[in-house]
Structures are given as C-alpha cells and as structure tokens.
Chain A
C-alpha cells in the first residue's frame, strides 16, 4: 500500500517547520504547579478552633490580669470644681478672668500606686479629630525658623489682627491656639508630689517635627484667647505640653499625658489636688477629668482586650466541641448531592 496520499481537492498541509507554534510545556503554563490544596475537613476545623481557644484564653487571662493590676484614679472636676454660685452660669464663671479658678480637692487613693504614676487630663466631647481642627496647623512653620511666615491652612489663627500688625502667629492654627491650660498640683501630707513634665512627648516629634530654633511669636495676643499661652523664650521642641496637645486624638473622648509622678503613693494615702480650672469645656458640654494611672505591659486599665480574647477563645472552644459532637453523632450525612441546586429544581436542566 502506498503511503502517499492521493491529493484530492482537500488542501495539503504546508510543509513549513512542523510544530513551530506548539506551546512550550511547563508545569506553570499548563497550570499544573504543585499546590497545597487544603480543604476544610472537620478535623481541620476542630483543631483550628481548639488551637484558637487554647491560645486565646491564656492570652486573654494574662492581659485581663495585667489590666486588672493597673491602678487608675479618675477624678472628674468640670462640675466638681464649679462653684455652687455658678452652677447655672458656668460660662460666666469660666470666661470671667477675675474669678479665681483654683479648686482644691482631697482624694483617697485606695490602692498602692507604684511609680511612675502617669497624670493625664481627660477631655470628653472634644472633637480633636474634626477635619477643620486636624488640618489647622503648619508643619513647616513648626519645624523651621525659616518658614516662620508659612501659615498654610492655619486660618483663622494665621496672622494677628491688622491693629496688631498682621504678623504671622507662631505656632499658628487652632490646634495650638486651643492648647489646654488647666494646671494641676498634687500634694500628699503637705508634701508636693512632683509632677515631672519632661519626656511626656514622642521623641520623634521633638526631634523632627518641632524645631529647636523656633520660638513662639505673636501667640495668643489677639482678641480671642483660646487656651494656654506659651513661654516665648522656650523653643517649640521643648514645649512638651504643646507637642502632646498637637498629636490630635482619634476619638472625641481622649486623655493626654500631663506629667509623671515618680514617687509611689501608698494605700489609703490622701492626696490633695490643686486644680486651676481654666479650660472652657462648659461651652460645648465637654467633661474634664484628671486621671492618675499606673501602667503595665499592656498599657493602662482596659479590660476589653482581655475580655475579647477570652470571649473569642471561649466561642472557639465551644465551636470545637459542637463540631466534635456533630461529627460523632452524624458521621456522614453530608455529601448528599440532593443539596445541589440543580437537583433541587429538576426542571432546570431540561
């Protein structure tokens, strides 16, 4: 038999280089790469739940314990320090410079507080995260002496009024302008507990964001005084209160570090707080508190983290047990193809 095929009218293949366009074989191009193909078997699910439970509960307990060991003494003083005569006219009280704002209170510390004890002020209903507020600063000006005239988006606290010569304000913007100006003194047995106000700001801020050659200028000299005044002879990088204040808080209730007390406070020790209640939170109904707190490795007192860990861990363990029970009781009712949607409505395949 001849191998040569008769040429009917069917076209013959061109004799060009055969298999020229053949795709190269590789496991990659053929989508046959080695792959880990885990499927969520009951044993996997049960072990994962168990592992989560076993890890989470101890972690939760540990952090709950840590948080529990923190001693926190909050003292809300916005109404406490409002003299009874001014109960109905808090604004008059706070806005009148002639009224003495000093407020003295005794506080019994129920647990022993070990140094360092952190002193915070806590403001409520204060929107430091408002977009207008957050934007109202100028990083260049804060950093460089050369950019003193740079007031960017600081309006309306950018220049002093025309009567005062329309000079740039350093530091400009409403964040700096509304700087918190209550002051605290704490004493125990007539002995001052020294509040150390050094090293309360982030180092990076002091080094990179606030210039050591930039001095406050024309600050708080306009008609409307916001908050604290700044000592014009101290460079901004040393004005730690300002630096702390200018790291805007994330939420409308926030604490800011006021200082540290580096001596212990004993159990049932009575401390005397002397508060200069200057800052106007009455206008917007904000709360003001003074908080003394120690810290541990998780930070301050907040049980949420520990509780959440325990909750999630507990739920996982329950799920693991539940699955185990289902697995034991119903070894395999599972893969019944009648669950498939196209088996459920038989008409669909016609």
Chain B
C-alpha cells in the first residue's frame, strides 16, 4: 500500500476531462424505460434474490456444441451438404432391392467419412472448451460481507458483487468503477484486447463513491444501479447510481469492460453490472460468419455439374432399360426367356416398363454415384487441418519477442490465402508497432540525427549504388538501446550542444521538449531512473529524448514541473523547476499544444509545439530566421515517413498574461453552448507571434520489415489499401513510411475539410468541435445530419479526380487516393459508391483515414462485392473486427495479449511482415494443393464411374455393377484417397525460397489459373478418356477367348478384378505423373496404395466365399497365374497415361506455366542457360506503382530529371529551388482541395 500512498496525486488536474461533473444528459431520461431496465443491487445479494432479478452468471461458453447436442448437431451439419445428403439417401436405399450393391458395403464408407469429420469437430470444440475452462477459472477478489474480500473464480461472479481488481489484472466482467487507490478515484485501463490501442485510457469513478478506498468501507456499502440492458456498443453507456438517496449519472467514464486490463493503478473497487454473455465484449463476439473459400464454392458447382451428368447418364440408362424390358415380353411370348420376364418383380416387369424404368433410375443413381467423390469433403477437411498445422508450425512466422507463432483459427480458408487480390490494412498496431522513436530534429535550421528510418533502411537494402555502402554501415551500428529513442548525433549528445553555434536555441529547444507535455514521471526507487507515463507514445518519446539529451524531467506536481538541466557553463546538472500556469491542450482540431510556465528567473514563457500546417502561420515576423531550412528539413523528414512537429516559443509580459488568464478562467467557467468556441478564441489570441526553434521528427515505428513486405506484396500484384482511424496527416506519413506514397505521386485528397464545406458548417451554426464529433461517431449516428451540400461536394471531388485518372499517364504518374472518414460516409452511399470504387481501383494507393469501424467494414464489403476479387483484411484492434469479419479472409495481429481482433479473425499472425510468407508461400502452396487435389478427385472418380457406365452398355443397362460390392465401396476410401491427401498436404511446385524470390508466382492464384474451368474440364475429359481406354481395352483383350493356358474364359469376376486393377494403377500413377515433389511420404502413399490393392485382393479373396462372393480366390487362382493379366495391366496403364503424358511434355517444354519456368530455373541452375533464367527473372520484376522498388525507380527518374535541369541552368540557386519543389508539391497535395 505504501506505493499507493506515494502516488496519491490529483492527476485529474492535468487531464482534460471534467472530473466528477458528469451532468444528467438527455439519454439519462431513458433510464427505467424499455432497453434501459437493468437494476443492479450492489453488494446486496439478498435483495437481488428477493427482487427475482436473475441475471446470468459469469460463465462464458464459446464452444459450438455441448456434450448433449454434439451428436445431433454435428450430424445435422454433416448432412446439410448436398453430397453427404445424397450419400445418406443412397445408404438408406441400398438396403432395398433397387440397390445395385449390398447395403453394408455402401454404409461403411459413409460411416468412415462422417466419423472422421465428427472426430475433427470434436477435437476442435474440445480445444475451445479448454480455453473456456481456463478463462472461467481465473481468480478475482470478491466482497463476501463484513468488509472481507475473498478469492473467487470468475465464473462464480454475480451481478451486484463488489470486486477488487489489482494492478495488471483483467477485469472479470463489466464493472462500474467505485474507487481506486488514487484519491480522485481515477484508474488507467489498457483496452488492447478491445481496440488494439496500447495507450492507457483514464477512467474515473463518481465523487460519491471515491472515498471507499479500503476493504472495510464495503461492510455497509449499499447502492442501486439502474442502467441500459446488455448491448454490443463498447463506447456508450447510460445508467445512474443511487447512493445514499442521491442519484448520480453514470457514463462510459465509469465503466470498466471485461477483457481490459488495469494498469498503473494499484487496485480498484468495482461493482459487477454485466456478467458472462451480457458483457459488452461477449455481446460483440458474434459468431464469426462461416466463410467458405472461392475454390470450395466452385467445387460445389462442379459437384452440381457432376450431379447433372449423373442424372443424365442414369436417365439415358433408364430409357434403354425400359425399352429392353418392354421388349422382353411380346404378346405373352418371352424373348429373353432365361430372364423369366413372365414372372418378375416390379423392377423388371415388362408389363409395366415405365415403372421398371423409374425404379431403375434410382438404381442407376446409386450405381453411378461413384462419379461423386464421397470422400472429397472429408479429405479436403483433413488436408486443410494438416495445412493449418503447417502454418502454425512455421518457424519463420514465429515471433520470439511475444512468443507468438502464427495461428490458423479456421482451416477453411487456406487456399483463399493464395488468391488475395486486395489487402485492407489497419494502421496502428498493424503496420506500425504503436511506439514512437525520436529520431531526428532540426534546430535552428541545422538538421541533427543520423538514425536511419525504416524507409531508408528498406531503400538502402534495395539500392545498389556505392552511396549506400556508407549508409549500410550507419544502419548496422544503429540499434536503439532505449525504447523510444533512436537518436545519434555527437554534435548535440553528451552536452556537446553547448559548443554548437546556436547553443541557446538548442537549449530552448530541449527545454521545451522537457516542459511542454502532459506526461507523468515515475522514479524507480532502486535505480533512481526516471520513466514516464504518457497518454500518447510520441509524447513519451519527447520526454525521453529530452532526458537523454540532458534535460531530465523528474517531477510533476500540479503546479510545477521540475527538471535536471545540464548547465552549459559549468557542465554540471542543476535542478530547476518551472511553475506551470496553464496547459492549452492538444486537440485534433487545434493540432498543437502549449504550456505557459514561469521559470526561476520569473520570466513568463509560452512553449508551443504543433503541426507545421498550423504553426508556421503563428510565427512572428522576427521569429522566422530558420524558417526556410526548417521547412526543407520537415519535407525531407516527412518523405522518410517521419512524424514532424514544429517547436516554437514566445516570452509573455505580465500584463498580457494576466489579461489572458483572466479571460481564460472566465471562459472556462462559462456555462453556455458556445463556451468551447470562446475558449478557443482566447487561446488563439495568445498563441501567436511565436519564435521558431526547430522541428522534431519522430518515427511512428513501423513494424520490422513492413516496407519490404509491402514491396513484395506489390510485386506479387496485390493491392494494399490502408484504412485507419488516424488523422489524415498521420496516415499520409505512414503512407510515405511504407512506400505506399512517394514524391511525384499525384495525391487525390478527398476531404470534407474544404473551405466550402467549412463555410457551410458555419452557416448551419455548428461549432468546429461539433463537426469533429460528428465525424468521429459516424458509426453511431451517421444519420444524424445529412449535409446534402457536403455530399455534392464529395461527388464533385470524385468526378474531378476521375477526370484526372483518365488523363494521367498510367505508367509514370501513379495516383494515390486519400479520403477522410466524413467524405467516405458520402462516398459509400449507394448512388456514389460505384464511382468511388472505380476511382479507388484506378489509384495505386488508397488510404482512408478517420474511418470508423463500420466504414472499414463497408469499404471491405464494397471491394468484395463489386470487384468480386478476394479481399484480405488485417488488423489488430476491436475497431477492425467488422472489417475482419466482412473480408474474405480476416487476419488478426496478435500482439502482447490475446485480443479481440484475433478472436474474430481467421488466421492470427504476430507481425505484419509474416503476411508475406503467409500469402506468397503458404497461400500459394495451399491454393495449388487444394485446386490440384480437387481436380484430381474429379478425375479419379470420373475415371472410375464411367467404367461402370460403359459396362452397362454391355449389360442391357440392368444396373449390374462390373465390380464386386466391396471393391466399389472401398475405392474412394482405401485405394485412392491417401495419395490425394499427400498431394494436398505436401505437394510443392517450387520451394518456399523460390516462392519468395518470384512473387509474381502469386498471380497464378489471383487469376485462378490452376482452378479455371478450362483446367477442370480438362481433367474431367482426361477422366473420361482414361475410363474409355481402360474399359474398351479390357473388354477387347479379354473378349471371349481363353485368357490363360488352361483354357478358362473370362467371367464377370475376372473382368471386374482386372479392370479394377487397371483403374487403381492408372489413377495412382496419374497422380505420380502430375505431382513434381516426391518425398518418402508420396512414395509410400502412391506405391503403397497400389500394393495395398493387391494385398486387399489376396486377403479379401481368402475370406469365405459367403462373404467375398465373386472375389473368392479370384486373384490367386485366376489372375495371378495368367500372364495376360499382367500384360493387360501394363498395356492399359501406359495407354491411359499416354495422352496426359504427351500433353504434359509438350506443355512443359513449349508452354510452361510460371511455376514450371521456375522449376526449369531450379533445375538448370545458372549453368545451362543463364539467358533464360535472366529473362524469367527480369520478367518477374513487375512495374509496380507502390513499394520500395517503385520508389527507387521514381527517385532515379527524379534524379535524372534533376540532372537535366542542372545541366541546363547550371546554377546553384536553382538546385535548391528544385529540391524544394518536391516538398512543396507534397504539402500542396496535403492542403490543396480538389
């Protein structure tokens, strides 16, 4: 507790929110009405009991089945599939005489298949169950009466319980904060699990309960909370607290959500209001919509096609059968008397041939059912599960820092990973790691800092100029040892700044960094080191930078800020404190923050930092000494993807300040609608005539390898859209950082911040603040105000942009579209969205900023539905959930803890850069495997099924199968399935190394080359040809003559067994021919299947004839001793494979597909034909419009044009102008309204 006491500051002073002053707002009048009827008797279990209000317990179940529902529910799921249902019907029918084969033999494969799927379901659900158990048995302290808190399991919590949550624990349910160890009852909450944001959120309890800081206080604590019913809205809450006959309004400020974490607060007390599935998190966790891959959808179509073929051939068969049956009895005279048509069952009755034909149709449906692969679904499922295991097991996608491997949460979408056309990415936490690093600065017009940004690193890795050599050295040495600080420049480090020409400016600069912020220092008592709690990571980066450069901020009280400064004269550290007079806070509208302090000499200082767009206009005429150079530096920084801020200050005189302070205090206490506007005006009046000190450049640190990854993805032809909630400037910065944007790219900015819309807003008498509020909560009340005029302005901007699109030269002038959230609202409306999409597709990069979660989902849906291409959404926060669920594939970034995004994603990876491997390697492989597997499945079943049909031609369509019953039924399960599974799991066209080296290979998936209708039909035809060759060669070679020396002739059983042997050989060898990757597993499975057939034939033939019937000793007695049997097998094997083999060798040689070219390269190496390899490689590097490669090209072009320019004018001044040109072009882009 000692620590807690130490930290009892009134932090509320320096924070923005109005503490404990939540007023009753309109929505509070709803309490008690419908939808707001929940009543919670805090700390009063008896009363809750009496009132008959039974809310659910805190047990959370995420499993799909329970023990009781497992069997029926999973069976139902199984037979919902058309094919499975068909097989079920067949199985039932096979016990009736219509069946062409025995019932048992037909049921066994179905049982095997269904059981396999059910086992898989069971295992998956069991894992979920274990997770639930772990979650439900977590411990928390609960009030047990008389001020005693006891440890209890999460699952046992009840609504109304008072719990005590300690530092770094998760909240077990949705709580109303009552008190914390801080006197003003605030606490810090990390909501990473909910929205992916790592910065801490501040929550504060009501004043009324804030003194309940001890366990014993709760002995007699009674209160009633009335609030809204459970809902999924994370950011709103309406309720009221009845405490000691007083009513207090409750707002989201008091609500602590389950799955968020208590940080930097020793403990809190809270009362449980929502438990278990009522919590906001669980309400949000809707079942992820079950997604199916495009390939599976197409597979369904193929199955329907096969059904059509099946029905067609059955129908043809039935007609012939009917005719022949009808013919058997003519005027009472039997024709085929040996069939006894005079005395038959209904199935063969010549007196009613129509009925017989109809019944025969059923028989035929069952007989030719082998066209439809019964084991297809289960094989695919097995394969996909194994593929997911490989994804999970990939050490290249394991992130050691957080100990997170990749995790495929559903195995449904593996092959979809190989077909992604558009990636929609979140920014914070996905592209960036949400930590800021102080990396460069420009002070007094001099640029400092040698640290290399991620962008520069990425560029230098690709660049092959001698210049980069030196650069690489710089990179190799720069490894930041301090989090948030990656600054290296001996000119100002270690106090050397004092020797610089503008030392006093540098001093002011560093002091400003140390003073102008809202961070809180925290001193480690053992080491004496100071660390900081800041609301945003860039602020933390500033104070750390100041500390490292000699201005250590170590204490903050509510009136003073204390520093240890380096004294340039003595070189000693001296302690100084600044009296903090006012904080003029940061807001997204102001884009700057200032503090007013009085230093020890009594001077009044206004220290200000802010975005260049707002700061330069506030600089005094005499403060512009360094403006030109600073601007130049800023544009360089911005192009390297850094986030820049301008630092400036001014000295105030006493009366000026007094005047301001008076007005400011008055305005703050004003109660009127335009209060905020008045405050804003007063602040503006003081923040002017500043003196420019310099600029800082902070790197919003991209995750490792992001630029390279984006470049690779661009090379692969995948488009990347960034959808972020961040403000436009930040988003553009990141766009530059990850090479989605670059100098020379035309930026189309569609923004609602145009002067015209601003004036419109003024006309409608809306304060600027309100407009922003609307922009932020469009998701909640998008219909609040419809600015018809804004919409038309957006439409106009779109139209203008589109003309730009058509006129611009596609190749060199890449376009970038940047659109803000508010414009997006209009752009996504039904009548506009098509033209928006058209524009967006035409642009190389698309960045949507300030977009709400719902807009992210809408954009995703728009792309998915309208372009029909496969979309992948990647994100890490709760705000991305909608997008993840909407996209064809949702990828969650698993950060430090298990997260909301991960829970609703299909695949979780730890870092953005793993996307490269996930898509280019695993995606490509899986796509290839699944598509070849399905094609092969259809091939083998057509090859088999058609032999049955051909036989019917010679058996008067009577429905007699050519094969023994058990041969038939085990075909799919035993003799042909394992090699296919091996194909689906292990096949690789090219190794992972080559997949990454030739990203263009990925196009095979995007364009769906391996699963095109052409290819599918090709395989089907191959199947038909194979079956024809097998059947007709068999019956011609085994016609009616003796087939062995002993004079024996061929019977049905001999022909059947021979044909079947041929089918097994051909189908398995076809597999061996069509794969190009043989590990021992492939060898075992392929050759094993063939050997297993002979073993089976032997074993089955040895069983008593009452069971083995026609197969009894057929191999050992009849087939094996006959040389012709073996020669026929060889002949048919080669003859059936020949067409494919000819096709394959021609295709491989003369029309190789891309993967085959790579195979050539791999085989030939560089030795036999370097030209060829070069050509393929050359062709593999595409002209891309985004990514580092493109950037490099563009910079080369720029360089060239520059040189040209210089040679023409050959004047030094021109050169500066030119390099400025680039900068101005960019800033133009930012501000220009099109």
Contacts and interface: CB of A to CB of B under 8 A. Distances in A.
A157 B339 CA distance: 11
A181 B676 CA distance: 115
A288 interface: no
A41 to B, nearest CB: 7
A190 interface: no
A134 interface: yes
Interface stretch (B5-13, B401-409, B458-466, B508-516): B401-409
Contacts of A23: 392-395, 398, 405
B435 A335 contact: no
Interface in A94-135: 116, 118, 120, 122, 126-134
A45 B1149 contact: yes
Contact of A39 (B527, B531, B1007, B1160): B1160
A288 to B, nearest CB: 13
Given A337-B1175, A348-B1007, A301 B405 contact: no
B613 interface: no
Contacts of B100: 131
A339 B1154 CA distance: 9
B1154 A340 contact: yes
Contact of B1159 (A39, A252, A280): A39
Interface stretch (A82-90, A162-170, A232-240, A303-311): A303-311
Nearest to B921: A31
Interface in A308-350: 308-309, 312, 315-316, 319, 323, 326, 332-337, 339-343, 348-350
Given A10-B483, A129-B955, A250-B1050, 13 more contacts: A9-B534, A11-B263, A22-B400, A30-B395, A34-B1079, A34-B1080, A36-B1079, A52-B1134, A118-B1042, A130-B955, A319-B1142, A335-B1175, A341-B1009
A174 B959 contact: no
Contacts of A341: 1007, 1009
A177 B402 CA distance: 81
Interface stretch (B42-50, B103-111, B1120-1128): B1120-1128
B139 to A, nearest CB: 17
Given A8-B484, A298-B1124, A337-B1175, A312 B1041 contact: no
Contact of A6 (B190, B200, B394, B482): B482
A157 B340 contact: yes
Given A22-B395, A131-B100, A247-B1051, A302 B1037 contact: yes
B963 to A, nearest CB: 11
B348 interface: yes
5 contacts: A41-B1149, A127-B958, A131-B955, A202-B1118, A300-B1049
Given A131-B100, A131-B959, A323 B198 contact: no
B1105 A130 contact: no
Contacts of A332: 1169, 1172
Interface string A197-214: 000101110001100000
Given A20-B403, A129-B954, A302-B1037, A63 B531 contact: no
A257 B1112 contact: no
A140 B1109 CA distance: 11
A249 interface: yes
Q: Which of B481, B955, B1163 has the most CB of A within 10 A?
A: B955
Interface stretch (B14-22, B330-338, B972-980, B1189-1197): B330-338
A143 B337 contact: no
A341 B1055 CA distance: 45
B339 A174 contact: yes
Nearest to A62: B1127
A305 B400 contact: no
Interface in B856-905: 896-897
A297 B1123 contact: yes
Nearest to A72: B1041
B308 interface: no
B518 to A, nearest CB: 12
A333 B1150 contact: yes
Interface string B1047-1067: 111111111100000000000
Contacts, number: 362
A273 B1153 CA distance: 68
Interface of B: 100, 188, 190, 192, 198-200, 263-264, 333-340, 343-345, 347-348, 363, 390, 392-396, 398, 400-405, 434-435, 481-484, 522, 527, 529-535, 537, 540-541, 544, 717, 810, 841-842, 896-897, 925, 954-956, 958-960, 962, 986, 988, 991-992, 1003, 1007, 1009, 1033, 1035-1056, 1076-1082, 1104-1106, 1109, 1112-1113, 1117-1118, 1122-1124, 1127-1128, 1130-1131, 1134-1135, 1138, 1141-1142, 1144-1145, 1148-1154, 1156-1157, 1159-1160, 1162-1163, 1169, 1172, 1175-1176, 1179, 1182
A193 to B, nearest CB: 16
User: Majority SS of interface residues in chain A?
Assistant: loop
A13 B1105 contact: no
A217 interface: no
Interface in A24-42: 24-25, 29-42
B337 A29 contact: no
Contacts of A93: none
Interface SS of chain B: mixed
Contacts of B956: 127, 130, 252
A14 B537 CA distance: 20
B403 to A, nearest CB: 5
A33 B530 CA distance: 52
A52 B1135 CA distance: 10
Interface in A282-310: 283-284, 293, 295-302, 304-305, 308-309
Contacts of B1037: 302, 304-305, 308
A7 interface: yes
Nearest to A209: B1105
User: What 4 A-B pairs are tightest by C-beta distance, nearest first?
Assistant: A300-B1041, A45-B1145, A6-B531, A8-B540
A120 B393 contact: no
Q: Which of B717, B956, B960, B1159 has the most CB of A within 10 A?
A: B960
Contacts of B1042: 118, 255, 293, 295, 299-300
A342 B992 CA distance: 22
Contacts of A6: 482-484, 529-532, 540, 544
B1152 A334 contact: yes
Contact of A255 (B338, B1049, B1109, B1151): B1049
Given A21-B405, A203-B1117, A348-B1007, A41 B1163 contact: yes
Given A2-B482, A248-B1052, A305-B1131, A24 B1141 contact: no
A10 B1050 contact: no
B107 to A, nearest CB: 20
A159 interface: no
B1051 A250 contact: yes
Nearest to B897: A11
B1127 A59 contact: yes
A18 interface: yes
A299 B1045 contact: yes
B1179 A248 contact: no
Most chain B CB neighbours (cut-off 10 Å) among A143, A155, A255: A255
B1079 A35 contact: yes
A16 B1148 CA distance: 53
Contact of A252 (B810, B954, B1048, B1145): B954
Contacts of A126: 338
A299 B1044 contact: yes
A1 B487 CA distance: 13
Interface string A28-71: 01111111111111101100100010001001000100000000
A130 B958 contact: yes
A56 B842 CA distance: 59
Given A39-B1163, A312-B1135, A335-B1175, A299 B1124 contact: yes
B761 to A, nearest CB: 35
B200 A24 contact: no
A299 B1041 contact: yes
Contact of B338 (A20, A42, A140, A226): A226
